[in-house]
Amino acid sequence: MKKKIYVTRQLPESVLSKLRDQFEVDMWTKEDQPIPKDILLEKVKGVHGLLTMLTEQIDSEVFGKAKNLEVVANLAVGYDNIDLEAAKKYDVTVTNTPEVLNETTADLTFALLLATARRIPEGVDYIKENKWETWSPLLLAGSDVHHKTIGIVGMGNIGEAVAKRATGFEMNILYYNRSRKEKAEDRLGAKYVSFDYLLNESDFVVCMTPLTDETKGMFDAEAFSKMKNSAIFINTSRGGVVNEDDLYESLKTKDIHAAGLDVFRDEPIHRNHPLLELDNVMALPHIGSSSVETRIKMMELAVDNIERVLKGEKPKTPVK
């Protein structure tokens, strides 16, 4: 009997065909919507492999129902949606998709930084709304990026790729990380500093940490109050690292200058969310790694991980 795999969102057949040859594959296909929890809890019964999106909470309830489960392959590098303790308890391997998305996510992070600093969306709207009457000296004047100080919180794979882009803009690079990254310092000229120093000194504060118990809400009123009034905050990691009420207050009172956000505590962010009312917020719908090439690489890696585990081999990218 073939082992069973359940995929929680419709993925291209070109990627899944590799699995279909060897396993029985079923998939949630409804209108590109996340699978409702009650259906997921039914579907996982009897499956050996689960290919999940970051929209699913894979918690002890799911593990408890999935008696045959051997592997959860998450289509993301972040795995805060998966209860690792429960996975361990039920002896299930968890895999993610690191590295293949580094450059693409760093591109988007830097694009968001540039767009927020130089007010690009406002410029686009200005023309579309037929407001442009003449060139004027301070029309939509933004903040410079080149030669400014960027502070990267979480100097991991993507943090380093962001720093690499900052070198092209001849920026002064500060970073704060759980541990010092001496190789990155040598290669990128980045300086390891304390969290407080980074907040005090940076013109751009970029968050690139995973969401963990430690990082949850680390960007709160106290952190924002330490930033310059001219500081721009960029978050492409996870919304949960930010206290969104505190961010709103800091932006509203111009305690910090602006924010570029790709991620939110609750996704999709509600259209009436106060942050979206602010002119100094640029919001994107969690598209950091979203280029066709990279998303396909992520899918291929997730498929490869599932295949390996179900064949009794070591996966390429297990979550440790």
Ligand X SMILES: O=C(O)C(=O)CO
- Catalytic site positions: 238, 267, 286
Query: At closest approach, how far in Å is the CB of 181 from ligand NAI?
Result: 7
Residue 172 CB, nearest approach to ligand X (Å): 28
Shortest Å, Cβ 153 to ligand NAI: 6
Which residues between 93 and 152 bind ligand X (CB under 6 A)? Answer: 101
| Minimum separation from the CB atom of position 265 to ligand X (A) | 14
DSSP 80: T
Q: Residue 52's closest CA among 314, 319, 246, 283?
A: 319
Q: Which of residues 45-84 bind ligand X (CB under 6 A)?
A: 54, 76-78
Length of the chain: 320
Among all residues, whose Cβ is closest to ligand NAI?
A: 156
Question: 6 - beta bridge partners?
Answer: 26, 50
77 binds ligand NAI (CB under 6 A): yes
Examine residue 318 and tell whether it contacts ligand NAI (CB under 6 A). no
Q: Which one-letter amino acid corresponds to residue 130?
A: N
Q: Nearer to ligand X by C-beta: 72 or 101?
A: 101
| Three-class HEC string of 223-279 | HHHHCCCCCEEEECCCHHHECHHHHHHHHHCCCCCEEEECCCCCCCCCCCCHHHHCC
Contact partner at residue 54 from ligand NAI, ligand X, none, CB < 5 to 8 Å by partner kind? ligand X
CB nearer ligand NAI, residue 51 or residue 100: 100
Window 86-115: contact mask with ligand NAI (x via CB under 6 A)? ------------x--x---x----------
Asked whether position 149 contacts ligand NAI by CB under 6 A, the answer is no
* 289 scored as a contact of ligand X (CB under 6 A): yes
**What six digits make up the tokens of 235?**
């978050």
CA angle (207, 213, 219) in 5-degree steps: 35
Query: 3-class SS at 167?
Result: helix
User: Which residues have C-beta within 8 Å of that of residue 172, sequence separation ≥ 6?
Assistant: 147, 148, 149, 150, 191
15 in contact with ligand X (CB under 6 A): no
Binding interface with ligand X (CB under 6 A):
54, 76-78, 101, 288-289
